[in-house]
């Protein structure tokens, strides 16, 4: 269901409002709209190198590589690093792009229950794999809860494993200068995946880490090698998103305030809000029919909140994934309040 014009959207990942307010500005004169080829062939542009340099400065990594999407970054990373004979331990609620990357790697994949570092340790203890990897989101996209990155780093260090962290929903939102949850906790992942299509307001994604890691991905990540590079125009906008997010303490404060207000409203109206932190507020209704009915009731009131159903979330946990935006404003909050009051009084 696409949002109708004029509808208040409360399920976007544009957490800081950069995508919808034009804050990233125009593409600089002379920056091309397309690459014309894979980066390895003739598609390398200054905009890519500028963006990768900005990422390294922001995140404090030696290297970064830009992909056309977060899906491509996760699939490329996992299938380039892990292979037959290796073990990848993956959180049960990891994003589909991580799941598909695990599958493509042809490594042994052990899916552990959500947020259970001790299960990761058990998987390592039971394995004789040549190389080991843990892959997790830092801030989970459908549940708004957080991986225990310190515990995962400890387990990885104890078993000589690599920690791969997807910060898609955390960059720009958490941590010092919006650098995400790894930075907030002082945890150094072996590879950090970020996307430009969420808080940073543009599109595309990246993997950041060591120079040898990025060299390896340059040649081995098939979703990078065999795909036309990210549009230079989009790369230049993404660089502006990084620059803005780095200094946007006001945006993060506003986002926190809006998320707090939405949480309070949802609790007040008796919506079945699952515990979460940050801008993602999962209203877990259980069956898909209930979630669809609630989404339709809100749509009739001018508010767009997509019903999220299996297989995006596990069976029996269909939900409305309500998200906060720093630019919702007092009017938006009031519209949201009125809609939630009506929808949750009338339905579940
Ligand atoms: C955790 C996570 N990783 C990766 C992606 C994929 O990012 P993209 O939309 O840039 O392909 C998403 C998209 O929703 C996501 O939630």
Q: Which of 187, 186, 207 is nearest to 196 (CA)?
A: 207
- Residue in 77, 114, 135, 197 to alter for ligand 1 test, most ligand atoms within 8 A of Cβ: 197
Atom of ligand 1 nearest to the CA of 196: 10
> pLDDT value at position 348?
45
Identify whether residues 167 and 208 lie together within a single domain.
Answer: yes
139 close to ligand 1 (CB < 6 Angstrom): no
Q: Which residue do the tokens 């990210």 mark?
A: 230
Indicate the number of domains in the chain.
2
Q: Classify residue 199: in a domain, yes or no.
A: yes
Q: In which band, very low, low, confident or very high, does the pLDDT at 6 lie, cut at 50, 70 and 90?
A: confident
Q: Classify residue 179: in a domain, yes or no.
A: yes
The domain spanning residue 95 has which CATH number? Answer: 3.40.640.10
Q: Which of 292, 295, 316 is nearest to 304 (CA)?
A: 295
> pLDDT value at position 1?
56
Catalytic positions: 141, 169, 198
Written as six digits, the tokens of 39 are 């980066």
Given phi > 0 = left and psi -120 to 50 = alpha, else beta, which region is 25? Answer: left
Looking at 217, 246, 275, the residue that finishes a domain is: 246
Atom of ligand 1 nearest to the CA of 203: 10
Among protein residues, the one with the nearest Cα to ligand 1's atom 16 is 141
CB 173 within 8 A of CB 199: yes
Residues 43-97 pLDDT 10s:
899 999 999 999 999 999 999 999 999 999 999 999 999 999 999 999 999 999 9
Positive or negative, the Cα torsion across 334, 146, 2, 346?
negative
Domain, as residue range, for 111: 24-246
Residues 167-198 pLDDT 10s:
999 999 999 999 999 999 999 999 999 999 99
Identify whether residues 87 and 148 lie together within a single domain.
Answer: yes
Identify whether residues 253 and 239 lie together within a single domain.
Answer: no
């Amino acid at each position: 269901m696409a949002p109708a014009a004029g509808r208040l959207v409360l399920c976007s990942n544009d957490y800081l409002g950069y995508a919808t307010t034009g804050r990233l500005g125009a593409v600089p004169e002379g920056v091309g709209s397309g690459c014309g080829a894979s980066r390895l062939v003739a598609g390398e542009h200054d905009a890519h190198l500028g963006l990768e340099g900005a990422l390294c400065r922001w995140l404090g990594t030696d290297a970064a590589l830009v992909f056309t999407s977060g899906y491509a970054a996760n699939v490329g990373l996992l299938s380039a690093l892990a292979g037959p004979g290796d073990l990848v331990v993956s959180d049960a609620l990891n994003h589909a792009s991580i799941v598909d990357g695990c599958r493509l790697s042809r490594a042994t994949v052990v899916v552990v229950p959500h947020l259970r570092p001790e299960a990761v340790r058990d998987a390592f203890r039971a394995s004789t794999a040549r190389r080991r990897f843990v892959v997790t989101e830092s801030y989970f996209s459908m549940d708004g809860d957080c991986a225990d990155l310190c515990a995962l780093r400890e387990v990885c260090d104890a078993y000589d494993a690599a920690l791969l962290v997807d910060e898609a929903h955390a960059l720009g939102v958490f941590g010092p200068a919006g650098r995400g949850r790894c930075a907030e906790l002082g945890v150094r992942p072996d590879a950090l995946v970020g996307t430009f299509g969420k808080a940073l307001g543009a599109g595309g994604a990246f993997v950041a880490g060591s120079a040898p890691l990025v060299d390896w991905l340059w040649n081995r990540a098939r979703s990078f090698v065999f795909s036309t590079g990210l549009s230079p125009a989009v790369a230049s906008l993404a660089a502006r998103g990084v620059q803005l997010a780095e200094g946007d303490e006001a945006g993060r404060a506003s986002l926190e305030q809006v998320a707090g207000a939405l949480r309070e409203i949802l609790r007040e109206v008796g919506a079945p809000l699952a515990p979460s932190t940050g801008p993602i507020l999962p209203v877990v209704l259980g069956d898909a029919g209930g979630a669809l009915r609630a989404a339709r009731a809100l749509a009739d009131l001018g508010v767009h909140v997509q019903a999220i159903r299996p297989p995006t979330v596990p069976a029996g946990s269909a939900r409305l994934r309500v998200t906060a935006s720093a630019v919702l404003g007092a009017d938006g909050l009031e519209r949201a309040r009125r809609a939630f009051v009506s929808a949750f009084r009338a339905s579940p």
